[in-house]
Structure 1
Amino acid sequence: MSEPIRMRTPRTVIRLLDVDEADLLRRYRVENREHLRLWEPLRTESHYTAEGCRLAIEAGLEAARADRGFPFVVLTPDGSEIIATFTLANVVRGVFQACHLGYGIARKHEGQGLMYEALDAAVRYAFGPLDFHRVMANYMPRNDRSGRLLERLGFEKEGYAKRYLKIDGLWEDHVLTAKIRAQG
């Protein structure tokens, strides 16, 4: 990864964070702690500290350099606030050329179409410069909003996994979806 990855949408800037932006990530995590809790694994207190955020950013930059994962933030155009986050994770190359997409948005930015805008750019980037063939995204059946978002983005349901991920301390079922790059 020689050049920094940067995407723009009409209302956002999307990129990886730099280590010196740990406080920006800390602020997002703290402000959205309760909002995101229902959709994430249990978090330790260090997840909400500047040092924990610095270490997460370092690990994310290393994952991107190694082509293992890409933890993006979706920022306001001036870069002063994180609107949302998404990760292209669990990268598998070779004959699979695939990744998993995970995402979350700040409570105050829900319902404005910003997550769709960002993930539309993300999927185009995944099928373009990152050269993936398949992007997989899974959601809990009770998360109707996420299901509708993925459907609107062109993801298709491929299955149902019982007790798939441990979210907020409980093993939760998930609907499995994927989007395949168009042939061309």
Structure 2
Amino acid sequence: MSEPIRMRTSRTVIRLLDVEESELLQRYRTENRDHLAPWEPLRSTSHYSLEGCRQAIEAGLEAARADRGYPFAVLTPDGGEMIASFTFANVVRGVFQACHLGYGIARRHEGKGLMYEAIDAGIRYAFGPLDFHRVMANYMPRNDRSGRLLERLGFEKEGYAKRYLKIDGLWEDHVLTARIRTQG
């Protein structure tokens, strides 16, 4: 990763955060704590601290340098507010060339098409410069919004996994989906 990754959509800028932007991540996490909790693992209090956010950004930058994961922040065009995030995680190269997609959006920005806009740009980047063949995304069956978003983005259902991930303290079933690069 020689140059900073930067994507633009009509209403967002998408990039990795710098360590100096820890407050931006902290504000996003604390303002959306209750909103995101039902869809995430249980979080410790350090997850919401400035130091915890600084450490998360450092770990994310290292993961991107090592081609293990890409934790993107979706920002307003002026970079003053974090709207959402998505991550290409669990990168596997070799004969697989795949990753898992995870995402979340601030409560106040839901329903505006911003998550679609951002992930659509991210998928193009994943199949372009990152050279993935497969992007996998899984969602809880009760998360209709997420299921509709993935379908709209061209993800296809591939299976159903019982008690797949521990979310908000409970082992939750997940619908398994993937999108495959059409050429190459």
Question: If the TM-score is normalised by the length of the shorter chain, which range does it land in?
Answer: over 0.9
Counterparts of 1:157-172 in structure 2, within 5 Å, are 157-172=157-172
Match of 1:181?
Answer: 181
What percentage of aligned pairs have identical amino acids?
Answer: 85
Tell me which residue corresponds to 1:113: 113
The Cα of 1:183 is off from its aligned counterpart by 2.1
Q: Deviations over 1:17-43 (max 9, x none)?
A: 000000000000000000000000000
User: Which residue of structure 1 aligns with residue 61 of structure 2?
Assistant: 61
Q: Which residue of 2 aligns with 1:46?
A: 46
Shift of 1:3: 0.3
User: How far apart in 1 are the matches of 2:85 and 2:47?
Assistant: 15
For the residue of structure 2 that corresponds to 1:161, the secondary structure is strand
Give the whole-Å Cα distance in 1 for the aligned partners of 2:145 and 2:158. Answer: 18
Alignment match, 2:78: 78
Q: How far off its partner does 1:133 sit?
A: 0.2
Relative to the length of structure 2, the TM-score reads: 0.99
Counterpart Cα distance in 2 of 1:85 and 1:39: 13
Q: Does 1:131 align with 2:131?
A: yes
Give 1:104's aligned residue: 104
Superposed CA RMSD: 0.5
| Residue ranges of structure 2 left out of the alignment (5+ in a row) | none
Secondary structure of the equivalent of 1:142?
A: coil
Equivalences, count: 184
AA aligned opposite 2:167 = I
1:77-96 CA distance string (max 9 Å, x none): 00000000000000000000
Q: Tell whether 2:165 aligns with 1:142.
A: no
Shift of 1:105: 0.1
Residues in 2 aligned to 1:5 and 1:73: alpha-carbon distance in whole angstroms? 11
Write the letter of the residue equivalent to 2:2: S
State the Cα distance separating 1:4 from its structure 2 match.
Answer: 0.2
Structure 2 CA distance, aligned partners of 1:139 and 1:101? 10
Q: TM-score, normalised by structure 1?
A: 0.99
In the aligned structure 1, how far is the partner of 2:83 from the partner of 2:21?
A: 15
Displacement of 1:177 after TM fit?
0.1
Could you tell me which amino acid in structure 1 is paired with residue 139 of structure 2? Y
